[in-house]
Amino acid sequence: MKAAPFQYVRPASIGEACAALAQHGAEAKLIAGGQSLVPMMAMRLARPAWLIDIGRIPDLQRIEIGQDVVSIGAGVKQRTVERSAALRQRLPLLMQALAWVGHPQTRNRGTLGGSIVHADPAAEIPLVACVLDAVLELRDAAGTTDMPAREFFLAPMVTAITPEQCLVAVRFPIWNGPRVGSAFEEVSIRHGDFALASACAQIALDDAGRVQRATLGVGGAAPVPQALPEVAELLLGHAPDQALLGKVARAAAEAIEPEGDLHAPAEYRRELARVLTRRVLEAATR
């Protein structure tokens, strides 16, 4: 399985990368970690005439930690995120998700941005980006566009990115507060496999133990990762008791449109969504 022939360039800056994209458009693909792209090229399912290597552009590697927002460069490796104590403290949900992403070897190369742009419906990082309502910074030769992650994913492997754009950074809101809990759960056939379904939640409780802020979502069981803000709203103002969590989990399962495939029928995915939502809600409110 050898890739179809392509030309290779390694721009030194984001600007150069965007210029290359502007020049080659749909005939070009960006490569950073390549963990998703290279297999597709090997199978000739992707056959860009131009491969633009952005894996080492310094401006894509930056991590900026603010009071309320963390900005992680799209080219930051999953391994780097995993090992950052600063990020662990501020983005616990992202850390929890990373444990499920592929295998250590793929995390050594794969990037935060690469996973998002590849947009596999079962991927963990896109789900977290949606659930945390992250903002994606997209840049092309004309300038920068901010797009909420929740608007970015259109269909399996299809996003709103244009052929001329490069994802340069992802801005995650930080939940500052004393009682913030989060959890990420996934069911896959084997360890490290694509999720048949996944769920995650981040919950902030007030002093009285009632839900002050909540976000949750389901992945792998729908064509795109699904943040479920209307379902999360059901938690607001209430103490997270068993009955409520059960109700919210059922609502999450009802809110998605799963599809069946070789590995799992739709009905099963829907049930997994319910079970996993229940589990993450319990863990996040413990």
Partner 1 sequence: MTVPIAVEITVNSTSWRGSIEPRTTLADFLREHLGLTGTHVGCEHGVCGACSILLDGLPVRSCLMYAAQADGCAVTTIEGLSQADGTPGALQDAFCETHALQCGYCTPGMVIAAHALLQENPAPSEEEIREALSGNLCRCTGYVQIVEAVQLAAARKEG
Partner 2 sequence: MGSVPDLLGLGAAFRYIGKKRRTKEDPRFVTGRGRYVADIALPGLKHVALLTSPHASALIKRLDTRRALALPGVHYALTGEEFCAATDPLPIGVDAPRVKRWSLARGCVRYAGEWIAAVVADSRALAEDAVEAIEIEYAPTECVTDPERALLPGAPLVHPEHGSNVLYRRKFVWGAVEEDFARAQHRLALKLLWARSATVPIETFGVAAQWHPGGGLLDVWASIQMPKFPDQTARALRLPGNAVRVHFDVDVGGSYGVKRGIKHTVLVGYLAKKLGMPVRLIEDRLENMRGGDMHGPDRSFEVQAAFDADGTIRSLKIRALDDVGAYAGRSPLQLGKPVGAIVGPYRIGSVEYEPISVLTHKTAQEAVRGFGQSPTNYAIESTLDAVASYLGMDRIELRRKNLIRREQFPYLIPSGTTYDSGDYHTVLDKALGAADYPRLLQQRDAARKAGRLAGIGISTCLEPSGGNSAFEPLFNPKNETTTWMDSCLVRVDLSGAITGVMNTSSSGQGHETLVATCIAEVLERDPTGIRVVHADSLSALPSNSPVGSRMAIMLGGAAAGAAKKIKAALMRIGAKNLDCGVEEVEYHEGSVRRKSGARGLSWDQLVEIAHRKFHLLPEGMEPGLQAKFVWEVPTGGMLPTSDGRIQMYPCFSFEAHIVLAEIDPATGQPRLLRYTCGHDCGTMINPDIVHGMTYGGIAHGIGAALYEKFAFSDNGQLASQTFMDYLMPSAMEVPAVKIVDHCTPSPLTEFGQKGSGEAGYLGAPAAVASAINDALAPLGAALHELPMTAPAIWQQIQEAKRRS
* Exposure on the CB side of residue 35, measured as CA atoms within 13 A: 24
Strands 50-53 and 28-31: parallel
Q: Does 6 bind partner 2 (CB under 8 A)?
A: no
The residue within the footprint of partner 2, chosen from 194, 206, 213, 282 (CB under 8 A), is 194
The residue within the footprint of partner 2, chosen from 193, 206, 233, 282 (CB under 8 A), is 193
Cβ closest to partner 2, residue 21 vs residue 264: 264
Residues whose CB is less than 8 angstroms from the CB of residue 238 and which lie 6 or more positions away in sequence, other chains included: 210, 211, 244
Q: What is the 3-state secondary structure (H, E, C) of 214-243?
A: EEEEEECCCCCCEECHHHHHCCCCCCCCHH
Q: Does 43 bind partner 2 (CB under 8 A)?
A: yes
Interaction pattern, residues 90-119, with partner 2; x per rule: CB under 8 A: ------------------------------
Cβ closest to partner 1, residue 82 vs residue 271: 82
Residue 245, binding choice from partner 1, partner 2, none, Cβ under 5 to 8 Å by partner class:
none
The residue within the footprint of partner 2, chosen from 37, 187, 245, 284 (CB under 8 A), is 187
Which of positions 253-272 make contact with partner 2 (CB under 8 A)? 262-265, 268, 271-272
Q: Quick one: which H or E segment has residue 129?
A: helix 124-131
State the Cα torsion 67-68-70-71 to the nearest 10°: -100
Cβ closest to partner 1, residue 98 vs residue 131: 98
Q: Does 85 bind partner 2 (CB under 8 A)?
A: no
Q: Does 275 bind partner 2 (CB under 8 A)?
A: yes
Residue 31, binding choice from partner 2, partner 1, none, Cβ under 5 to 8 Å by partner class:
partner 1
What are the C-alpha distances in Å from 104 to residues 74, 77, 85, 110, 126?
A: 19, 11, 18, 10, 19
CB atoms within 10 A of CB 34: 19
Helix (H, G, I), strand (E, B) or coil at 246: helix
Copy the structure tokens of residue 129.
Answer: 């980006």
Closest distance between partner 1 and the C-beta of residue 52, in Å?
A: 11
Binding site for partner 2 (CB under 8 A): 1-5, 39, 43-44, 187, 189-194, 196, 262-265, 268, 271-272, 275
